[in-house]
Amino acid sequence: MSFMPGPLRLGRGRLVALVSIFAFFSAFPVLYAALVSAPAQAAPADDGRNLFETRCASCHTVGGGRTVGPDLKGILDKRDRGWLIRFISTPDRLIAENDPLAAQMVKEYGMPMPNMGLTPAQAEQVLAYLDGSGNAPSEKAPAEETAPPGEGDAAWGRDLFTGRAQFSNSGAACASCHNASGIGALGGGTMARDLSDSYSRLGEPALTSIIKGTPFPIMKAIYGQQQLTDDEVAHLVAFLKESSQQRAGGNSSAPFIVISAVGFMAILGIMQFAWRRRLTGVRQSLVKGGSR
């Protein structure tokens, strides 16, 4: 049986085939447009590069040499991948568990790696980027990012550290959280580490990188939107260099001890002067009472 008379008659099978072909070519432009307009999914290595540059580059390079932390070029050849994922995502937990490799890193670099809030999946992306960079030429930050700031002034750095001088972007004074030699007998805050030996312990490039990059969570919360200028970084580094030299030359707590001793003796003298007449009156009443 056919559906059309005369020369246009087609069999059932041919009619179905023609309808199917027509439907396919009609839908093809729509499918093509949907595929072209769909957003491209970033490769894990691309995501890892962005994470590395925003979370890790303040302390690490890939082939640029050791700074605050180790150079990460070829790190997958030196450490187990599973351990690296845990250390990148939860370094504080590994350190608390007394993991021997984590403890070695803290001892070698003089400070624990901060928890940067990366998930294990994001740690995998960072490793994918590092894995792809393993055989690439050494990567260094642009010259304007790694060039040291100009010559700093230690006295100005001391004023910035203590808050006697304000940062350009109104950041909090360093002494709110840190102490350092040379800021006076009363010292600074105790919430964070004493920075008296930071220059001698870390060296100028690493110390500059930390102050400028603010890699630690508390620093990032305070200075993330109130970044220090290059000159302010240089002044602080100059002051901390001077502070380290003072620390090496003597005990920074000695002035505080001397002032405490003098203050204690002064209080004793004031009490003796204030109570001397009362004590005399007590003695007289006792002597009179005893002579009866």
Mean pLDDT of 25-51: 58
Q: In the predicted model, is pLDDT for residue 109 greater than 60?
A: yes
Chain centroid to Cα 268, Å, comes to 48
Q: What is the pTM of this model?
A: 0.49
Q: How many C-beta atoms surround the C-beta of residue 156 within 10 A?
A: 18
* The most confident of 109-113, 114-118, 234-238, by mean pLDDT: 234-238
What's the pLDDT at 239? 92
Residue pair 204/242 in contact (Cβ under 8 Å)? The answer is no
CATH code linked to domain 154-249:
1.10.760
CA distance 50 to 72: 16
Confidence of residue 235 (pLDDT cuts 50, 70, 90): very high
What's the pLDDT at 1? 45
Q: Would you list the domain boundaries of the chain?
A: 44-144, 154-249
What's the pLDDT at 56? 84
Residue 16 or 237, more confident: 237
What's the pLDDT at 15? 57
pLDDT averaged over every residue in the chain:
74
Q: In the predicted model, is pLDDT for residue 18 greater than 80?
A: no
CATH superfamily membership of 44-144: Cytochrome c-like domain (1.10.760.10)
Classify the phi-psi angles of 214: left when phi > 0, otherwise alpha if psi is within -120 to 50, otherwise beta. left
CA atoms within 13 A on the CB side of 33: 5
Alpha helices by DSSP H, listed for the chain, are 12-37, 44-51, 81-89, 91-96, 100-109, 120-132, 143-146, 154-162, 198-202, 204-213, 217-223, 230-249, 254-291
Q: In the predicted model, is pLDDT for residue 58 greater than 60?
A: yes
pLDDT of 86-99, one tens digit each? Answer: 999 998 898 899 99
Matching fold, domains 44-144 and 154-249:
yes
Mean pLDDT of 197-224: 80
pLDDT of 120-144, one tens digit each? Answer: 999 999 999 988 864 444 444 443 3
* Interhelix angle 204-213/230-249, nearest 10 degrees: 130
Mean pLDDT of 249-270: 62
Q: In the predicted model, is pLDDT for residue 274 greater than 70?
A: no
CA distance 126 to 57: 11
Q: In the predicted model, is pLDDT for residue 270 greater than 50?
A: yes
Q: In the predicted model, is pLDDT for residue 155 greater than 60?
A: yes
Q: In the predicted model, is pLDDT for residue 101 greater than 70?
A: yes
